[in-house]
Amino acid sequence: MAFHEKQLPADAPIADKALNWVDARFPLSATWKAHLSEYYAPKNFNFLYVFGSLALLVLVIQIVTGIFLVMHYKPDAALAFASVEYIMRDVPWGWLVRYMHSTGASAFFVVVYIHMLRGLLYGSYRKPRELVWLFGVGIFLCLMAEAFFGYLLPWGQMSYWGAQVIVNLFGAIPFIGPDLSLWIRGDYVVSDATLNRFFAFHVIAIPLVLIGLVVAHIVALHEVGSSNPDGVEIKEKLDAKGIPLDGIPFHPYYSVHDIFIVTIFLFVFTAVVFFAPEMGGYFLEYNNFVPADPLKTPPHIAPVWYFTPFYSILRAVTSDFMVWLAAGVAAYVALIILKTRLASKFKVAAAVIGLLVIVTMFVTDAKFWGVVLMGVSVMIMFGLPWLDVSPVKSIRYRPDWHKYVYIVFGIMFVVLGYLGVQAPTPIGTAVSQIGTFIYFGFFLLMPWWSAMGTFKPVPDRVVFHPH
């Protein structure tokens, strides 16, 4: 494309000339228009749609505070804990930066969980937004990795032993497990080598991937357009100028709305930072204010709250539970064979795979299957666009009993999260095992239950009431 610079009048304002000079060399105005002032979003957005913007805000907070923490942190097993104490006690405003970063980590997961819940309720993962959802789940995985690698850095008791337990879980994988654990740690135990590689991943590797996925997520979203609570595609109804009839420019309408919500969020965020940064031990565990001691194991080791639903699934898999798990696999394979229209070869393949899985369950350790289920409980979200076969996208137009399915799933997810921070008990383990079946049943049975019931007619245009 040939270089072209607009000819402005000699008396044009300096700002216009500067912008014209930049636009001729970089698509600044075009980018602003494509993603803000001329990006048309549905006019019926509700409160839940602000959490994407909040996630971006928290990402910026984490990056900025992380930069300032790295200036004073020492990734050395002999100095790490003392360097964190130095930041808290001697660095001017260091305590504020550290608490903003630790609170930001929990805030990130609160915001992202609500953002994913909104996508689940309104079918934001359905065609044509499959890639938007896949990039989003990739972001979620990166957040989990980022939080895990950063968890060791304070080098406190819970950091040390939490990392020890999680890394040792990889040792349950047959054949490659012990070598894989050794490779992750860089040593036979969690040590200075582990701290250095976790620091490198937390500060450089994962953030680069995370930022790339965030950019891809936003670009993919703006390519296909935002979803809305009605599940109506606004790009299908255009005016003579090609502008969606049910769309309004993101800026200034939603940008101003988001700034208002951001203000409220920052009030809550700063209240937590100043008055309850530990949040009763959920955001910052009390054991983490004690230096790491390889010779003294804490009485109860648990990950931070945002990992605990998946940690509960891991702990639910005991040797006794394997029988029920095998029965669940057998029942699911029978359901595929009897209640699907797949070709015979696919049904035979499902039967063979199911049989192999069941046989493997009884010749391998239950701990291994706990690790498998914990990993699959996250990875299964990638399949959501193809598991949901409902004729409508939004929960608004699904049968009323579908709402109870989502409510049961949500309650059980919270219960699993709560049980994950508690010491294991027989009753807690039994509830976790029931919760594990409900969690996987929600996704694996979705091809059947999502298509059942009487669906309400979806309107041609979005339902919008001016206010």
**Would you list which residues are annotated within the binding site?**
101, 115, 202, 217, 222
Structure tokens at 461: 């245009």
- Tell me the C-alpha distance between 43 and 237, whole Å: 13
Which residues lie below 8 Å from residue 295, measured CB to CB, with a gap of 6+?
none
Structure tokens at 3: 């270089």
- Tell me the C-alpha distance between 187 and 184, whole Å: 8
Binding annotation for a ubiquinone: 222
The Cβ of residue 304 has, within 10 Å, a number of other Cβ atoms equal to 24
Q: Is the dihedral of CA 134, 64, 267, 464 positive or negative?
A: negative
Let me know: does 149 contact 245? Beta carbons within 8 Å: no
* Beta-sheet pairing, 40-42 with 247-249: antiparallel
**Which residues sit opposite 41 in a β-bridge?**
248
Place of tokens 């509960």: 312
Burial 428-441 (b: 16+ CB within 10 A, else e): bbebbbebbbbbbb
Binding annotation for heme b: 101, 115, 202, 217
Q: Is the dihedral of CA 217, 218, 221, 222 positive or negative?
A: negative
Place of tokens 């890639």: 131
**Which residues sit opposite 291 in a β-bridge?**
156
